Amino acid sequence: MEYVELARAESERGELVLRERRPHDGPTAVELRANGVFVMDTLEVSTERALASAALALVEHPAAVVVGGLGLGFTMHEVLSDHRVEHCAVVEIEEALVGWMRDGTIHHGPALLADARVRIVVADVAIALTEAHPASYDLILLDVDNGPGYLVHQGNAALYEKPLLSAARQVLRPGGALAVWSADESPDLAAALESVFGNVEVTPLDVELQGHDERYWLFAARMD
């Protein structure tokens, strides 16, 4: 296996590295790592697509969507593939990652960001949701981590607790929904969503990762 570094950046959250993985007998992939930990790559994108498609199915008219977390853009790509979506705000805390998407370091980035429906916000999604106007979005997708049990940064724990979930509720329009992707069942997250929204649906979704069948969970809470 050969690795070629494409870009590296430092922030107050630590180190972010983009590198190309070149196996001797398989497809090349670009992968993102945070503080040495694998986050995602361009080969295994089934979870991002499953999150977006399942979340979009929750809302009849998802005209305005917020995606928490840019990653390598595949959740955003799936959201934009839905013709009902008129506006998609993507909130990403790492400015360097946004830059790599814009300048083509992530090769598919410029084409995705050229979509007139996209607005990139460089901010902490918790702050962005707290400062957003009430009833301004139909759907919020939290794709920042693999759920509360698999945090990219420890500070993200607040995203899955009642104060931030309450802020998200204020941002949603009637008929809207909040969707959270998780690699485990997380009863604490289910309880927090139930306490804020009065309802929660936890749906298992099967995905294939590196040739293995895996099960993830979609947590969804709806506005009346």
φ and ψ at 50, to 5 degrees?
Answer: -65, -40
Binned at pLDDT 50, 70 and 90, residue 146 comes out as confident
For residue 48, report the phi and psi dihedrals to the nearest 5 degrees. Answer: -60, -45
pLDDT, tens only, 57-71: 999 999 999 999 999
- pLDDT of 143 reads 87
Question: What local confidence, expressed as pLDDT, does residue 152 receive?
Answer: 84
Is the four-CA dihedral 51, 222, 116, 130 of positive or negative sign? Answer: negative
Question: In this structure, are residues 59 and 139 in contact, taking their beta carbons and an 8 Å threshold?
Answer: yes
Question: How far out from the chain centre does Cα 31 lie?
Answer: 16
Give the DSSP H/E element, type plus range, for residue 140.
strand 137-142
Q: For residue 150, what pLDDT band results from cuts at 50, 70 and 90?
A: confident
Q: Does domain 43-222 have CATH number 3.30.310.220?
A: no
- pTM of the predicted structure, to 2 decimals: 0.93
Q: Compute the distance between CA of residue 85 and CA of residue 64 in angstroms, rounded to an integer.
A: 6
Per-residue pLDDT, averaged over 154-180, amounts to 94
**What is the dihedral angle through the alpha carbons of 145, 147, 148, 153, rounded to the nearest 10 degrees?**
-10
What pLDDT score was predicted for residue 211? 66
Across 141-163, average pLDDT = 88
- Per-residue pLDDT of 152-161, as tens digits, reads 888 888 999 9
pLDDT band at 149 (very low <50, low <70, confident <90, very high): confident
Residues 10-27: pLDDT tens digits?
999 999 999 999 988 888
**pLDDT, position 147:** 84
Quick one: tokens of 196? 């804020």
